[in-house]
């Protein structure tokens, strides 16, 4: 189990959820009604799933792949600790993970 804390774009706390280990953070975010579009549903063809990870938690994540880095390069509102939520898998090692929505987070797909 991994506890995930979601924060709004302005940094205020939104919701905290428990996720089973091995879930994509994108799926956890959708289940928690977070405004992440994730247009390509994780096939690395968009960057609409990016989140800003808490700095301490960022250091605990496995490094981003070159493909993920390339997509983050073209995303809007990227910060030093931005990552793609479709590429982060929950695990006990990530207990408690805090992420913030980027300023332009929208979910046009109505998830
Ligand atoms: S959902 Fe498209 S890259 Fe993550």
What is the distance in A from the centroid of ligand 1 to the CA of 86? Answer: 6
Q: Is the CB of 47 under 6 A from ligand 1?
A: yes
Residue of 42, 76, 102, 105 to mutate, ligand 1, most atoms within 8 A of C-beta: 42
Sheet containing strand 2-7, strands side by side? 13-19, 2-7, 97-100, 50-53, 82-84
- Please tell me the number of Cα atoms within 13 Å of 36 on its side-chain side: 33
Would you say residue 106 has pLDDT above 90?
Answer: no
Alpha-carbon radius of gyration of the chain: 12
pLDDT (tens digit per residue) in 24-79 = 999 999 999 999 999 999 999 999 999 999 999 999 999 999 999 999 998 888 99
How do strand 82-84 and strand 13-19 relate by DSSP bridges?
unpaired
């Amino acid at each position: 189990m991994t506890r995930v804390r979601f924060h709004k774009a302005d940094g205020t706390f939104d919701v905290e959820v428990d996720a089973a280990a091995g879930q994509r953070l994108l799926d956890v975010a959708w289940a928690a009604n977070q405004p992440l579009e994730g247009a390509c549903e994780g096939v690395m063809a968009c960057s609409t799933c990016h989140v800003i990870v808490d700095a301490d938690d960022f250091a605990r994540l496995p490094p981003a792949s070159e493909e993920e880095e390339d997509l983050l390069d073209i995303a809007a509102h990227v910060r030093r600790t931005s990552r793609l939520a479709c590429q982060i898998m929950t695990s006990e090692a990530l207990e408690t993970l805090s992420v913030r929505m980027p300023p332009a987070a929208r979910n046009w797909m109505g998830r």
